[in-house]
């Protein structure tokens, strides 16, 4: 349990600091907006660009590894979206954010140190690859789905043009494309650029967590608890179960890759879901509660998974 506590408790503590600062400190009502804009437009793009630019393309495009993880992502997505339509009806864009809260794992802030603790240096690359996958590919997918709903009343051609423009101008997607372009040159990042992105990127997760804490001020965490409990159970139980079935079964990945992808799928919801939800002003309270509760409970579920996989 100690490795999970080492990476899980700081996440919860940073979020709590944001709440305390908003409840008792000097931060005004606009602080969440400012912090979230900083994360969305500056810090996360820097993190994504550096991750993409420094990861070998051969590792980033490891098809069997990504296929196993994708099976867990999209299998769980389907369950979350279909059940959401029936049990928790909402507009499609909100249901997409609901599903994103279920499948978007905290592979960056928690996955990298956890996999390094579990597997040593060989565990870093799988964690980075899945961080890139989440922040680049999944963000683009969900932006497209959300924009399709928000623009659904426009003429079809205008809808397609608007969605294409929204994706093309999304700073997270642009950062990923720029990172891929740099990685294709096989040149190392110049030291000043690397340091610039590293410093800004390191601020992304803490700033997003503080923004979430600020957002929670005055909002009851118990609201929609039945819905949040369902989402957390999908995130911490169903997604890793589907991933394990594919990774150890049909794809028969190597031990390191299989264990790494299952552990990554079992991680709690990542803070980037809040950043996107707040950006669109949709489903923000439920997303925030899912991140908070899944992070707390993951201390138990991920520790149990480590024992099941005989790791550590």
Please give the backbone phi and psi of residue 105, each rounded to the nearest 5 degrees, phi first: -85, 155
Cα separation, 66 vs 12, in Å, equals: 29
Q: Are 4 and 302 in contact (CB under 8 A)?
A: yes
Q: Are 106 and 243 in contact (CB under 8 A)?
A: no
**Which residues are 105's β-sheet partners?**
269
Cα separation, 47 vs 64, in Å, equals: 25
CATH number of the domain residue 52 falls in: 1.20.1530.20
Model pLDDT, residue 51: 80
Model pLDDT, residue 157: 78
Model pLDDT, residue 220: 67
What sign for the dihedral angle of Cα 60, 141, 178, 52? negative
Task: List the one residue out of 217, 241, 164, 207 whose CA is nearest residue 35.
Answer: 207
Model pLDDT, residue 230: 95
Model pLDDT, residue 213: 83
Cα separation, 51 vs 156, in Å, equals: 36
Please give the backbone phi and psi of residue 16, each rounded to the nearest 5 degrees, phi first: -65, -35
Per the structure, the complete domain to which residue 233 belongs is given by: 2-308
Residue 31's CB: how many other CB atoms inside 10 A?
Answer: 19
Please give the backbone phi and psi of residue 171, each rounded to the nearest 5 degrees, phi first: -65, -30
Cα separation, 79 vs 88, in Å, equals: 13
Q: Are 139 and 301 in contact (CB under 8 A)?
A: no
| Residue written as token pair 């408790």 | 9
Please give the backbone phi and psi of residue 269, each rounded to the nearest 5 degrees, phi first: -65, 135
Model pLDDT, residue 4: 67
Model pLDDT, residue 118: 80
SS (HEC) of the chain = CHHHHHHHHHHHHHHHHHHHHHHHCCCCCCHHHHHHHHHHHHHHHHHHHHHHHHCCHHHHCCHHHHHHHHHHHHHHHHHHHHHHHHHCCCCHHHHHHHHHHHHCECHHHHHHHHHHHHHCHHHHHHHHHHHHHHHHHHHHHHHHHHHHHHCCCCCHHHHHHHHHHHHHCCHHHHHHHHHHHHHHCCCCCCHHHHHHHHHHHHCHHHHHHHHHHHHHCCCCCCCCHHHHHHHHHHHHHHHHHHHHHHHHCCCCCCHHHHHHHHHHHCCCECCHHHHHHHHHCCCHHHHHHHHHHHHHHHHHHHHHHHHHCCCC
Task: List the one residue out of 130, 126, 128, 138 whose CA is nearest residue 74.
Answer: 138
Question: Low-confidence residues of the chain, pLDDT below 50?
Answer: none
Total number of domains in the chain: 1
């Amino acid at each position: 349990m100690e490795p999970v506590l080492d990476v899980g408790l700081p996440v919860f503590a940073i979020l709590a600091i944001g709440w305390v600062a908003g409840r008792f400190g000097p931060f005004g009502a606009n602080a969440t907006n400012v912090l979230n804009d900083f994360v969305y437009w500056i810090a996360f793009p820097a993190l994504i660009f550096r991750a993409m630019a420094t990861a070998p393309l051969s590792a980033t495009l490891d098809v069997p590894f990504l296929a196993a993880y994708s099976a867990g992502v999209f299998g769980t997505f389907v369950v979350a979206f279909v059940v959401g339509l029936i049990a928790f009806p909402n507009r499609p864009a909100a249901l997409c954010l609901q599903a994103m809260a279920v499948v978007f794992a905290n592979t960056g802030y928690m996955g990298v140190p956890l996999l390094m603790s579990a597997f040593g240096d060989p565990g870093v690359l799988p964690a980075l690859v899945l961080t890139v996958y989440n922040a680049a590919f999944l963000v683009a997918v969900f932006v497209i789905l959300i924009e399709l709903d928000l623009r659904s009343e426009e003429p079809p051609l205008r809808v397609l043009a608007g969605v294409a423009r929204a994706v093309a101008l999304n700073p997270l997607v642009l950062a990923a494309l720029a990172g891929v372009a740099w990685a294709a040159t096989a040149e190392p990042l110049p030291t000043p650029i690397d340091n610039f992105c590293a410093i800004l990127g390191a601020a992304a997760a803490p700033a997003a967590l503080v923004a979430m804490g600020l957002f929670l001020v005055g909002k009851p965490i118990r609201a929609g608890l039945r819905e949040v409990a369902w989402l957390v159970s999908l995130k911490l139980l169903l997604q890793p179960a589907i991933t394990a079935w594919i990774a150890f079964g049909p794809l028969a990945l190597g031990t390191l890759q299989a264990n790494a992808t299952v552990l990554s799928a079992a991680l709690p919801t990542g803070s980037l879901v809040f950043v996107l939800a707040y950006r669109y002003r949709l489903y923000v309270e439920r997303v925030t509660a899912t991140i908070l509760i899944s992070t707390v409970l993951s201390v138990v579920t991920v520790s149990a998974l480590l024992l099941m996989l005989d790791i550590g």
